[in-house]
Chain A
Amino acid sequence: MKRIVVSIALFVAFFSVHGQIDRTQPPKPGPAPTINLKEPVRFELNNGLKVMVVENHKLPRVSIQLTLDNAPILQGEKAGVSDLTASLVGKGSKNISKDEFFEEVDFLGANISLGDQSAYASCLSKYFPRILELMADAALNPNFTQEEFDKEKDKLLTALKAEEKDVSAIATRVQLALAYGKNHPYGEITSEETVNNVTLADVEQFYRANFVPANAYLVVIGDVDLAEVEKLVTQYFTPWSKATPPSFSYAKPVDAQYAQINLVDVPNAVQSEIAVQNITELKMKDDDYLHALLANRILGGGSQARLFMNLREDKGYTYGSYSAIRDNKFGPMRFSASAEVRNAVTDSAMVEMLTEIDKIRTTPVTEEELKNAKAKYSGSFVMALEKPQTVVNYALNIETEGLPSDFYKTYLERINAVTIEDVQKAAQKYFSTANARLVVTGKASEIAGKLEDFNFQGKKVPLLYYDNYANKKAKPE
């Protein structure tokens, strides 16, 4: 007893004598933690479904994810058919009524949600067999009825109506349509008119054509036994008929011929949503993929990046300004720098955004910026290991993006090898001011005046007007 008391006293004494530390400098990090990349177990069914399993027994739970790695789908005059398909799947199946299905899933405290080309479920591990069975049944045997179709169509039309004055929804819609074109899967617009073109038969057809196993991956993570997963997945997914999804052709998106402002008038807006955007072609397997990520990180990848430091911390124009570069194996994507700013500083913010994009193209980034950007990527890579999902994401990327099998094993090394010159080259290749579209969604009566006379580096940038659906319109009187 006595000894314990003494040790407690020592403990307290130890705490009240504070060690001498140097507060004036950031502490040096300890030795880098060792990284252990595990591999998921894989198997494949005869119909082409590829399965990956990661056993993780830390918590008594399981997640099940089905992903279809299909090319983007052009919906055309029936835009909305994918949304409607997504709303109609996952409501029971040909074998179990909607009410019984939801009642059972909720009763087990589980979640099952289906999309037009995906399915996800999570539950406590004790319910895994039944939840996998219900998810597979709902995914493979959907019960499309006219009654449900009419109801979901009503809801979709109401939801579209709800967005009519939503500045952010309008901004996103127009930005995408102008970047990709309205006849492209990523640019096409779902409207009341296109939704009214969709019938129940269209939904059935969409599902039959696209919900097929050719490019499908099923991932099971959690407190499961591999042999049991293999047995149950084989049992529930073997009936899925082998098929390949259709392919679509559409015009490849291209940049504007010259830099221009595209103004969308939303009279109720108290902030302007600005996107400076251009088209890029970037795939994960490209040699300069990491260079492009680092360039974007330094320009606008977070709260220590240039856009944020300039537009928020220096000027106080915005709550946040960021940039995003997107990769895609199927085709070109949009690079964008964005900010929501008050009406009065819309033009000034645009100048700053263009200036930052121009600067990272024309002037080398500093050693310190590159070092910090690399540290951020390395750190995120290490921290991602907390989630069991990470090893599966890596395995999926290697497979679907056509990456070398050691892509993630050499990731940290390759990040570290990127030079200042690499970053500048990537910035020049992927970011543009000369062909940028400056899509501004805001209150024209307050901002158009200054935008009419907008100059960048002594050159006038023309102003073009668009409506809420990305149609060109005349300058308002």
Chain B
Amino acid sequence: MRKTLLITVLLLPLLLCAQQVDFEEYDLDNGLHVILHQDNSAPVVNISIMYHVGSKDENPNKTGFAHFFEHLLFEGTKNIERGEWDKIVSSNGGSGNASTFLDETYYYETFPSNSLETGLWLESERLLHPVIEQVGVDTQKEVVQEERRLRVDNSPYGAFFEQLLKYLYTKHSYRWGILGSMEHIASASLEDFQNFSKKFYVPNNAVLVIAGDFETEKTKKMISDYFGPIPKGEPIQRVKVEEDPIETTVMAKYHDPNIQIPALLLAYRTPGKKERDAYVIDMISTYLSDGESSKLYKTLVDEQKKALQIFAFPINAEDYSSYVVGGLPVGDNSLQDIKNGIDTEILKIQSELISEKDYQKLQNKFENNFVNANSSFSGIAESLAENYLLKDDTNLINTEIDIYRSITREEIRDVAKKYLKVNQRVELEYLPEQKTAN
């Protein structure tokens, strides 16, 4: 007995130690927020910038701009000729890319640590004087249309994200998705893009994260040299658009020429990702569909053999999140069979407490996720940026697990009751293209 106790006492601080992600953060005078996470265990460094601009910030008549602009920012700057960007990254042995989502745009590079300065130069050039000119706009218009064909029009089930957003939101700018309208992009002028840059690509709308192997003082000096001279922009006014609650089930259909097996998707509007209830929804989602012993998998796929596949995932975003549950029927089963199966399980969460054992299982899963989330410099960098910019608390990287730990079984039941109502959801039947009648 005493031996066990000793081991526990010894192990506990060790585990906590291994978990802690240390970081330092400060602002430059121009408002650029800087976060440094130093770890010299491998000669690798990650440089990234997250801008607080996504598809949600677009004008309804000019959708797709945020993503399009991400493409444009690889076209070159005053000091980097068109076509040179990727060459500079790879000639330093690095790699990088960017992504655009509903609320944010994220640019990143990873380098062997001796090329940190190159990364700072690249990202500061992108912010200080991007070159936005006609030739780049024309080329990227074609490229983005091909991206849309690749990801949506030619891809099985590729349109479901856009379709769900369209029905879930009627006022909020989440409604047009990320790729936006090809017509809007095609008709946009050079000036439109330049204005977009001036408004959103300013240091006071961004966070710079350096994670990995570097010397702190030297790095701070370089950050000041490269980013300090960039002028501060106008503050950005953000108005959260309030959606009216969905009161009657929204029934929708979509036909996809690339599929043979239909899918049923049930989508709910849920709280923004900062809210405690969003964490509860994460737990519900895991309870329903993560792992072969999860409720939906076990009943619909394994025991009743109604579904080929079952899925549930939250699309977490700043103003509202969207929670999607769905499945593909197997054999002769119908979409209605899938819906009934899902509703039965959701009704159970709403009316009874989940078992003590299932609750402990959820806690164990989240502990495992927490340990694995911080296993790479690039992963740490992205979490730090997102926690600061979209959740207002950089230290969530260390404390998020405490939120999950504090969620009770009663809360899980109550949140399911509050948000997962049949009359508050979108039911999308995602169908193969209809055969034309003879």
Tell me the A residues contacting B by CB distance below 8 Å.
14-16, 18-21, 23-27, 29-35, 57-61, 99, 102-103, 105-110, 122-124, 151, 154-155, 158-159, 161-168, 223, 268-271, 302-304, 309, 312-319, 340-342, 371-373, 375-380, 382-383, 385-387
B146 touches A151 (CB 8 A): no
Q: Select A59's contact among B18, B91, B212, B221, beta carbons within 8 Å.
A: B18
Q: Select B139's contact among A123, A316, A379, beta carbons within 8 Å.
A: A316
Tell me the B residues contacting A by CB distance below 8 Å.
15, 18-19, 28-29, 41-44, 79, 83, 86-95, 110-118, 120-121, 125, 128, 138-143, 145-147, 149-150, 153-156, 212-213, 220-221, 224-226, 228-229, 257-261, 290-294, 298, 305, 308, 328, 330-331, 357, 360-361, 364-369, 371-372, 374-377, 432-433
Determine the chain B residues whose CB is within 8 A of the CB of A18 once the complex forms.
Answer: 224-225, 228-229
Determine the chain A residues whose CB is within 8 A of the CB of B290 once the complex forms.
Answer: 106
A107 touches B357 (CB 8 A): yes
Q: Select A33's contact among B112, B117, B366, beta carbons within 8 Å.
A: B112
Separation of A301 and B386 alpha carbons in the complex (Å)? 31
Looking at the assembled complex, report how far the CB atom of A27 sits from the nearest CB atom of chain B, in whole angstroms: 4
A316 touches B138 (CB 8 A): yes
Looking at the assembled complex, report how far the CB atom of B134 sits from the nearest CB atom of chain A, in whole angstroms: 13
Determine the chain B residues whose CB is within 8 A of the CB of A341 once the complex forms.
Answer: 146
Given A268-B257, A379-B92; A60-B371 close (CB under 8 Å): yes
- CB nearest to A316 among chain B residues: B142
Q: Select B29's contact among A15, A58, A162, A377, beta carbons within 8 Å.
A: A15
Separation of A20 and B29 alpha carbons in the complex (Å)? 17
A383 touches B44 (CB 8 A): yes
B360 touches A107 (CB 8 A): yes
Determine the chain A residues whose CB is within 8 A of the CB of B44 once the complex forms.
Answer: 382-383, 385-386
Separation of A344 and B286 alpha carbons in the complex (Å)? 45
Extra contacts, 11 of them, besides A29-B117, A59-B372, A270-B149 (Cβ < 8 A), are A21-B226, A60-B19, A102-B291, A105-B293, A158-B331, A164-B260, A317-B142, A372-B87, A375-B93, A379-B112, A386-B377
- CB nearest to B225 among chain A residues: A19
Given A61-B372, A340-B150, A385-B43; A106-B293 close (CB under 8 Å): yes
Q: Select A155's contact among B212, B258, B330, beta carbons within 8 Å.
A: B330
- CB nearest to B147 among chain A residues: A319
Determine the chain A residues whose CB is within 8 A of the CB of B43 once the complex forms.
Answer: 33-35, 382, 385
B91 touches A371 (CB 8 A): yes
Given A304-B86, A341-B146; A162-B261 close (CB under 8 Å): yes
Determine the chain B residues whose CB is within 8 A of the CB of A61 once the complex forms.
Answer: 368, 371-372, 375
Q: Select A379's contact among B79, B93, B155, B260, beta carbons within 8 Å.
A: B93
Determine the chain B residues whose CB is within 8 A of the CB of A340 once the complex forms.
Answer: 146, 149-150, 154
- CB nearest to B110 among chain A residues: A383
Separation of A123 and B368 alpha carbons in the complex (Å)? 7
A154 touches B150 (CB 8 A): no
Determine the chain A residues whose CB is within 8 A of the CB of B18 once the complex forms.
Answer: 57-60, 223
Determine the chain A residues whose CB is within 8 A of the CB of B376 once the complex forms.
Answer: 386-387
Determine the chain A residues whose CB is within 8 A of the CB of B90 once the complex forms.
Answer: 302, 304, 372-373, 375-376, 379
Determine the chain A residues whose CB is within 8 A of the CB of B125 once the complex forms.
Answer: 23
Given A342-B149, A380-B95, A382-B93; A103-B293 close (CB under 8 Å): yes
Separation of A123 and B139 alpha carbons in the complex (Å)? 47
Looking at the assembled complex, report how far the CB atom of B431 sits from the nearest CB atom of chain A, in whole angstroms: 13
B292 touches A106 (CB 8 A): yes
Separation of A297 and B261 alpha carbons in the complex (Å)? 39
Given A304-B86, A316-B139; A106-B15 close (CB under 8 Å): no
Separation of A182 and B365 alpha carbons in the complex (Å)? 44
Separation of A18 and B229 alpha carbons in the complex (Å)? 7
Most chain A beta carbons < 10 A, residue from B155, B376, B433: B155
Q: Select A19's contact among B91, B140, B224, beta carbons within 8 Å.
A: B224
Given A102-B293, A382-B44; A270-B154 close (CB under 8 Å): yes
Looking at the assembled complex, report how far the CB atom of B213 sits from the nearest CB atom of chain A, in whole angstroms: 8
A165 touches B117 (CB 8 A): no
Q: Select A166's contact among B121, B226, B258, beta carbons within 8 Å.
A: B258
**Count the A-B residue pairs with Cβ separation under 8 angstroms: how many?**
239
Looking at the assembled complex, report how far the CB atom of B302 sits from the nearest CB atom of chain A, in whole angstroms: 8
Separation of A155 and B375 alpha carbons in the complex (Å)? 35
Determine the chain B residues whose CB is within 8 A of the CB of A316 once the complex forms.
Answer: 138-143, 146
Determine the chain A residues whose CB is within 8 A of the CB of B365 once the complex forms.
Answer: 106, 109
19 intermolecular pairs with C-beta atoms under 8 Å apart: A15-B228, A27-B120, A29-B92, A29-B112, A33-B213, A35-B43, A59-B18, A60-B19, A107-B357, A108-B364, A123-B368, A155-B330, A158-B261, A165-B156, A270-B154, A342-B145, A371-B91, A379-B115, A386-B376
B118 touches A29 (CB 8 A): yes
Looking at the assembled complex, report how far the CB atom of B33 sits from the nearest CB atom of chain A, in whole angstroms: 13
- CB nearest to A15 among chain B residues: B224
B361 touches A15 (CB 8 A): no
- CB nearest to A160 among chain B residues: B260
Pairs A-B, 3 closest by C-beta atoms: A379-B93, A316-B142, A33-B43
Given A106-B291, A340-B149, A340-B150; A124-B371 close (CB under 8 Å): yes
Looking at the assembled complex, report how far the CB atom of A182 sits from the nearest CB atom of chain B, in whole angstroms: 23
Separation of A156 and B79 alpha carbons in the complex (Å)? 54
B88 touches A319 (CB 8 A): no
Looking at the assembled complex, report how far the CB atom of B77 sits from the nearest CB atom of chain A, in whole angstroms: 9
- CB nearest to B139 among chain A residues: A316
Determine the chain A residues whose CB is within 8 A of the CB of B153 once the complex forms.
Answer: 270-271
Given A106-B294, A382-B43; A26-B259 close (CB under 8 Å): no
Most chain B beta carbons < 10 A, residue from A35, A164, A313: A313
Determine the chain A residues whose CB is within 8 A of the CB of B226 once the complex forms.
Answer: 21
A379 touches B94 (CB 8 A): yes
B331 touches A154 (CB 8 A): yes
Separation of A35 and B93 alpha carbons in the complex (Å)? 15
Separation of A120 and B414 alpha carbons in the complex (Å)? 37
Given A58-B41, A60-B15, A340-B146; A27-B360 close (CB under 8 Å): no
Determine the chain A residues whose CB is within 8 A of the CB of B260 once the complex forms.
Answer: 161-165
B261 touches A161 (CB 8 A): yes
A59 touches B375 (CB 8 A): yes
Given A19-B225, A59-B374, A155-B308; A383-B146 close (CB under 8 Å): no
Given A58-B18, A165-B260; A23-B121 close (CB under 8 Å): yes
Q: Select A107's contact among B112, B128, B142, B364, beta carbons within 8 Å.
A: B364
Determine the chain B residues whose CB is within 8 A of the CB of A19 once the complex forms.
Answer: 221, 224-225
Determine the chain B residues whose CB is within 8 A of the CB of A109 once the complex forms.
Answer: 361, 364-369
Looking at the assembled complex, report how far the CB atom of A430 sits from the nearest CB atom of chain B, in whole angstroms: 21
Separation of A376 and B147 alpha carbons in the complex (Å)? 26
Determine the chain A residues whose CB is within 8 A of the CB of B93 once the complex forms.
Answer: 375-380, 382-383
Q: Select A309's contact among B83, B143, B360, B372, beta carbons within 8 Å.
A: B83
Separation of A375 and B290 alpha carbons in the complex (Å)? 41
Separation of A165 and B265 alpha carbons in the complex (Å)? 21
B92 touches A375 (CB 8 A): yes
Separation of A430 and B291 alpha carbons in the complex (Å)? 44
Most chain A beta carbons < 10 A, residue from B143, B147, B225: B143
Determine the chain B residues whose CB is within 8 A of the CB of A223 once the complex forms.
Answer: 18
A303 touches B86 (CB 8 A): yes
B83 touches A313 (CB 8 A): yes
Looking at the assembled complex, report how far the CB atom of A52 sits from the nearest CB atom of chain B, in whole angstroms: 20
B330 touches A15 (CB 8 A): no
Separation of A61 and B367 alpha carbons in the complex (Å)? 11
Looking at the assembled complex, report how far the CB atom of B176 sits from the nearest CB atom of chain A, in whole angstroms: 20
B91 touches A375 (CB 8 A): yes
A319 touches B258 (CB 8 A): no
